[in-house]
Copies of this chain bind each other. A is one copy, B any other.
């Protein structure tokens, strides 16, 4: 299994767009057979099986046999490391938003006082 060798971590697993698609698909509709995924995403079956293999390997999905199909289910908790990592930057956006807000307010102030001044001028002229 060549493609799975170094895909030993979740970050690598989710780097693939198709795999994120599969994850998205699995995140709604609890438990999907491979065939469903194949049809829904319009990918060749071997490709889907391989991607599912990678996801399985890092624990992002788990399988259960159900008759002649395998039903795949998302183990959403395995995404936690990604969530935690990226969440640690949340504050930066907030800070940035704050800066933008402050700047906007300052601009508004300036506009207001400019308007006031020009109004006064108009009024006095």
Quick check: is A86 within 8 A (CB to CB) of the other chain?
Answer: yes
> Does B90 contact A86, Cβ atoms closer than 8 Å?
no
B residues in contact with A86, CB < 8 Å = 79, 82-83, 86
> Does B83 contact A90, Cβ atoms closer than 8 Å?
yes
Contact stretch, chosen from A10-18, A32-40, A47-55, A106-114: A10-18
> Does B20 contact A85, Cβ atoms closer than 8 Å?
yes
In whole angstroms, what is the CA distance A27 to B92 when docked?
A: 9
> Does B76 contact A96, Cβ atoms closer than 8 Å?
yes
What is the distance, in angstroms, from A36's C-beta to the closest C-beta of chain B?
A: 20
B residues in contact with A14, CB < 8 Å = 11, 15
Within 8 A of B (CB), among A62-85: 76-77, 79-80, 82-83, 85
Mark A residues whose CB is within 8 Å of B: 9, 11-12, 14-15, 17, 20, 27, 76-77, 79-80, 82-83, 85-90, 92-93, 96
* 10 closest A-B pairs by CB: A15-B15, A76-B92, A12-B15, A83-B86, A11-B15, A82-B86, A76-B89, A79-B89, A79-B86, A86-B86
What 6 additional pairs, Cβ within 8 angstroms, besides A27-B89, A83-B86, A83-B87?
Answer: A14-B15, A15-B15, A27-B92, A77-B96, A79-B89, A83-B89
